[in-house]
Amino acid sequence: MRSEGVQGAMLSNAYFASMNSRLVYPILCLTVILLNVHLPAFSQKSKVYTRADTLRGSLSTARTAYDVTYYDLYLSIFPEKRSIQGYNTIHFKAKQAERRLQFDLFSNMKIDSVVFRGEQLAPQREHHAFFVYLPIELVPEQMYSLSVYYQGVPQIAANPPWDGGFVWKKDEKQRPFIGVACEGTGASLWWPCKDHLSDEPDSMRIQTEVPAELFSKSNGRLADSMLLENGRKLFDWRVSYPINNYNVTLNIGHYAYWKDSYSSEDGDELGLHYYVLDYQLEKAKKQFEQVKPMLKCYEQYFGKYPFWNDGFSLVETPYLGMEHQGAVAYGNQYLNGYMGFDRSRTGWGNKWDYIIIHETGHEYWGNLVSVKDHAELWIHESFCTYTEGLYVECLYGKEAGQEYLNGLKHNIGNRSAIVGPLGLNASGSGDMYDKGAIMLNTVRNLIGKDSLWFQMLRGLTREFGYKTTDTREVVDYILEKSQMPELEAVFNQYLYQAAAPVLEYEESRKGKEISLRYRWVVQTEGFQMPVPLIDAAGQLLLLPSATEWKEVKIKGSKKYELSFKEDLYYFLKKKVGN
């Protein structure tokens, strides 16, 4: 269900230029960050949008007429041919009286038939979408189902997980090792669905048929597995929570499995399930010891693990990682850091496994709290990247967490805005990761009350969990709870403008007195943010902010040099004058 989506529309440059005084809406991102801001998944060049983008990203009546409640997906996987064959039965509730419905499946996949109430329908293709005309008009609030039978060779991921598709690899023993990652590219590259983030099913079944010597792990709990008469094996997985389409996955290989449990603050036991290549078992058991302290930290900040009944799983994959709900993809080679590298360059990032910590953070930010449109995926990525800093803070203290987050500043590009246009399946800047996280840290410091800030984080997961949301709702929640309407312009500047706030300043000295002139240079009307200055005695001064020049006298010394406490907020400095 989770379908309270808003109809998107192409936004002109003039529209973006006018987004100063009020948050409007909006970005797509992938879920695993690269080592620096040059993310291959995000083009910094302007894109010409096409009819195919509109079909994928917008909500026409052919989509809003129905609300998906349940997907029943059955797939036969043929590794030797790199092909799949199966069906998806789509259960939905009618929302409008309509006969023409849109579904999505990549054009390289063949639709064998579409069946509605025993009658075969004639699908009409348009790019990666297809339309069906029902023999009856939908009656609002009534339940219906429709089955799509299909087959083909799905798109192969050229550079997973950044370029979506199937991953057909061999493990070190030259045995099949298969996965799929499709965020951004779309779940419809491998199964027919309503491929729009605004509409999630309330639950789902995923059945996969594979060669008998292989194990197939998907989302949710394993309800059954059985040998079939054709000599193959069927795995039946059940997801009991809402799930967004790009989180649906399958993982196939020669897996070893072990189970553990985590005790929550209230004494409940969460099942922990681990699936790794059989020859990696001992190495994995040691590396995955990080899971329990991580879950404890996340429970402290955001509440209990959100998909409790389905359990938590880490699954080794033939690609780096992805936040697949309840089946977190892991391919970090059992190294701490990001493949052994500390993205913050502070030393803190090499004390833990980036993929375990980051991708599990998405269980809250992206999987529990989900956006309606790809343009607004900063809500997934900014909060999740910020979660890394909170994890460091949980284990090593606030100063360490703040140091880690500030260490990410060197990754920021400031070349294009974090948010992109709605309704086009469009992406904004990869700055949604590090710049977005540091924006949240800036907001935390502007609020200045950690107890309130952490209440708000838990409140966000309660208010928007298990349903889709958007920028307007999330920011309004923060404005209301903080009682700081001036934060509106702060969010506007960081989210909708490419540039960071710039502190322009000039100084003149007369004896031990310094005359400081300063102003903020921003593109957002009403922007207010204190200027954090360290005085000669080492004390923090928060100077009143303005976009017009202000002047203040500071008592210093001959050795005193102006020093701004830049770890509180994210901004750039520019000294002018002599």
pLDDT in the model for residue 31: 39
Domains by residue range for the chain, with CATH: 13-51+361-496 (1.10.390.10), 502-575 (2.60.40.1910)
Count Cβ atoms within 10 A of the Cβ of residue 117 and give its class: 0-12 exposed, 13-18 middle, 19 or more buried: exposed
The predicted-structure confidence for 331-378, as pLDDT tens digits, reads as follows 999 999 999 999 999 999 999 999 999 999 999 999 999 999 999 999
pLDDT in the model for residue 40: 30
SS3 308: helix
pLDDT in the model for residue 17: 31
Calpha distance 578→574 (Å, rounded): 12
Calpha distance 449→119 (Å, rounded): 61
The predicted-structure confidence for 198-214, as pLDDT tens digits, reads as follows 999 999 999 999 999 99
Residues ≥6 apart with Cβ < 8 Å to 272 = 259, 260, 261, 262, 291, 292, 311, 312, 313
Q: Which ranges of the chain have pLDDT less than 50? A: 2-44
* Number of C-beta neighbours around residue 540 at 10 A: 11
SS3 434: helix
Calpha distance 444→462 (Å, rounded): 19
Phi first, then psi, for residue 203 (nearest 5°) are -165, 175
SS3 152: strand
Stated pTM of the model: 0.91
Q: Which two tokens stand for residue 298?
A: 């996340």
Whole-angstrom CA distances from 197 to 78, 146, 427, 470, 475 are 29, 20, 14, 11, 19
Calpha distance 40→163 (Å, rounded): 9
